[in-house]
Chain A
Amino acid sequence: MTLKEKVLSNLKRVMDPELNINVVDLGLIYDIEFPEEDFVYVTMTLTTPGCPLHDSITSGVKYCLEEMEEISKVEVNLVWEPAWSPEKMTPDGLKQIGR
């Protein structure tokens, strides 16, 4: 398993509490980069600007990755462009939402 796959797998522990779907299957994670060996830079979005769970979810992503042995620095870049749409969800995510 590559480090990127490990990061994605770990991120599946971060759930959107309203939908009860993890941030990966919900399609909120846009990009994962490693500027340095133990530094992960996550570009992500939320389902809607002004989401009341804004801080909770981005902090959750940070906490969850900081726990990984291979990672010592995490930065989360929250973006609104491109805007999230249901098309970004994985088949698993769509299934969980009943579609």
Chain B
Amino acid sequence: MGPSASGNETNIKLPFSFIFVSMVALLASQILLLFQGDFLMDGQFRVPGIWSAAHLFILGWALMIGMGAMYQLVPVAFLTPIWNEKFGFIQFGVTAIGTFAFAHFLFHDPQNALIPGIITLIGILMFLFQMFMTLRKQAKPNILTLYVGTALVCLLLTIGLGITMLYSMKSGAAANQYFAIFKSHLLLGTAGWFTMLIFGFSYKMVPMFSLSHGYSMKPAKFVYPFYAGGLFVAIVSFFTESSVALIAGLLLQLIGFAIFIYHISLILKKRVKKKLDRSFTFALIAILSGGLIHFAAFITALTGVFSKAVGPLLMMYLFFWIAFSIIGYLYKIVPFLWWTAKYSKEIGKKDVPSLKDMVNDRASTPVFACLVIGIIGVDLSLFIGSKALFISGQLLFTIACFLFCFAIAKVVTK
């Protein structure tokens, strides 16, 4: 199987490298978390094991998946080939080595995590450079370019703030601003980078997987200013410690997200495909979950309990919105990738399998159920402080992650 010779398609090995290495990070992060129950029960989130698991999950899995997906989706969504594929492979190597080394040092020797952190930063900067060079070639930038471009800027800021935090820990510089930087780092990494990216690509994937036509893209122009404005105001609130600004920021984000949900529902009303795939439906449920978590965040800020609820809310946001969106879409993207690599040259010559034959969509339901029940158990355990519930929930979630990885890996045997 070699690189595609024509059109905008990316060499399949590039996105697959990201996707398969990210699976290792996902499993490692969940196994590591399984042994952090005592700290989580005590509300100690900033300890080496949780740092390491969180970075493996976010950088090693979600970010690497995001990068792999972008290498595949940017050329097809923006009709622009990747600027330099060879550079992409080098970027993959640097990011993978940096991320795993970073997670290792965060766990064993956090004081010396700066160097692997910088290697990770270089990998991410290489990715941002690659995407910048690719997107600038796009003949007609559109609203999706704005979402994806903003997501990339948020990613850059997230990493910059993360490195500032490491430097601050080592040198004591900007110690007074540490928590404001930390909160901004979390907000930009989750609601900035991931949400903006999922918004942007959902506008491409939802119509594609539901075969929707004749819908308006006007609401997308309203989603953006509300959501991006909300991010900005929330960051201001972290540095000024203004509860009013925090409420305003969360309200703006909620409005933006609510318009996004409404817009997606309008798109789906125009669909030709009556019966949607289960994995795609799971990604749609993740969108609703994201909206509900934004609503909960706003209510807790309004009632003055945001600081107590933010840990479990953030965890729910990471899993119910970000992770479940990624998992739902991956069930569609990976078969697409493998089918293209294996069968695109055979179509028209002989009978080839359909995409439905590449992955067992029906078998995804118990996996999704276990993921949801597992993470509800974990979240509930944080609220009520039950270690037994945490271990049961986390174990179920880890098993479901193994099943998910197995289902994705099995695609390449078809």
Measured CB to CB, the residues of A under 8 A from B are 13-15, 17-20, 47-57, 59-64, 67, 84-86, 89, 97-99
A48-B208 contact in complex given A53-B340, A55-B4, A56-B340, C-beta closer than 8 Å: yes
Contacts of B4 in A (CB 8 A): 55
User: Do B348 and A17 touch across chains, with their CB atoms under 8 A apart?
Assistant: no
Contacts of B6 in A (CB 8 A): 55
Beyond the given pairs A56-B347, A67-B349, 6 more chain A to chain B contacts, judged by CB atoms under 8 angstroms and listed by A's residue number, are: A14-B347, A20-B355, A49-B79, A56-B343, A60-B347, A99-B272
Contacts of A15 in B (CB 8 A): 347, 352, 354
Contacts of B208 in A (CB 8 A): 18, 48, 51-52
Contacts of B292 in A (CB 8 A): none
User: Do A52 and B347 touch across chains, with their CB atoms under 8 A apart?
Assistant: no
User: Do A17 and B339 touch across chains, with their CB atoms under 8 A apart?
Assistant: yes
User: Do A59 and B214 touch across chains, with their CB atoms under 8 A apart?
Assistant: no
Contacts of A64 in B (CB 8 A): 348-349
User: Do A57 and B76 touch across chains, with their CB atoms under 8 A apart?
Assistant: no
User: Do B348 and A62 touch across chains, with their CB atoms under 8 A apart?
Assistant: yes
Contacts of A14 in B (CB 8 A): 347-348
Question: What are the nearest 7 A-B pairs in CB distance?
Answer: A60-B348, A60-B347, A64-B348, A56-B344, A63-B348, A20-B354, A98-B274
Count chain B residues whose beta carbon lies closer than 8 angstroms to a beta carbon of A: 36
Residue B102 interfacial (CB < 8 Å): no
User: Do A52 and B340 touch across chains, with their CB atoms under 8 A apart?
Assistant: yes
Q: How far is the CB of B377 from chain A (nearest CB, A)?
A: 35
User: Do A63 and B344 touch across chains, with their CB atoms under 8 A apart?
Assistant: no
User: Do B336 and A59 touch across chains, with their CB atoms under 8 A apart?
Assistant: no
CA distance A84 to B72 in the complex (A): 24
Residue B49 interfacial (CB < 8 Å): no
A86-B213 contact in complex given A15-B354, A54-B8, A97-B273, C-beta closer than 8 Å: yes
Contacts of A13 in B (CB 8 A): 348, 351
User: Do B356 and A20 touch across chains, with their CB atoms under 8 A apart?
Assistant: yes
Contacts of B275 in A (CB 8 A): 98
CA distance A51 to B7 in the complex (A): 11
Report 16 cross-chain contacts, Cβ distance below 8 Å, ordered by A residue.
A14-B347, A17-B339, A17-B347, A47-B211, A48-B207, A52-B76, A52-B336, A52-B340, A53-B340, A54-B76, A56-B340, A56-B343, A56-B347, A64-B348, A64-B349, A98-B275
Count chain B CB atoms within 10 A of each CB in A18, A61, A63 and give the residue with the most. A18
User: Do A17 and B352 touch across chains, with their CB atoms under 8 A apart?
Assistant: yes
**B45-76 Cβ-contact flags toward A at 8 Å (1 or 0):** 00000000000000000000000000010001
Q: A52 — nearest CB in chain B belongs to which residue?
A: B76
Measured CB to CB, the residues of B under 8 A from A are 4, 6-9, 72, 76-79, 204, 207-209, 211, 213-214, 272-275, 336, 339-340, 343-345, 347-349, 351-356
Partner of B347, one of A19, A63, A67, A86: A63
User: Do B204 and A61 touch across chains, with their CB atoms under 8 A apart?
Assistant: no
Contacts of A67 in B (CB 8 A): 348-349
Contacts of A49 in B (CB 8 A): 79
User: Do A61 and B273 touch across chains, with their CB atoms under 8 A apart?
Assistant: no
Contacts of A20 in B (CB 8 A): 354-356
CA distance A43 to B8 in the complex (A): 20
Q: How far is the CB of A40 from chain B (nearest CB, A)?
A: 13
Q: How far is the CB of B211 from chain A (nearest CB, A)?
A: 6
Q: How far is the CB of B205 from chain A (nearest CB, A)?
A: 10
Contacts of A89 in B (CB 8 A): 272
Q: B336 — nearest CB in chain A belongs to which residue?
A: A52
CA distance A73 to B214 in the complex (A): 36
Q: A98 — nearest CB in chain B belongs to which residue?
A: B274
Q: B354 — nearest CB in chain A belongs to which residue?
A: A20
User: Do B8 and A19 touch across chains, with their CB atoms under 8 A apart?
Assistant: no
Partner of A50, one of B78, B274, B345, B353: B78
Contacts of A61 in B (CB 8 A): 348
CA distance A99 to B213 in the complex (A): 15
CA distance A53 to B7 in the complex (A): 10
Q: B344 — nearest CB in chain A belongs to which residue?
A: A56
CA distance A15 to B346 in the complex (A): 11
Contacts of B214 in A (CB 8 A): 85
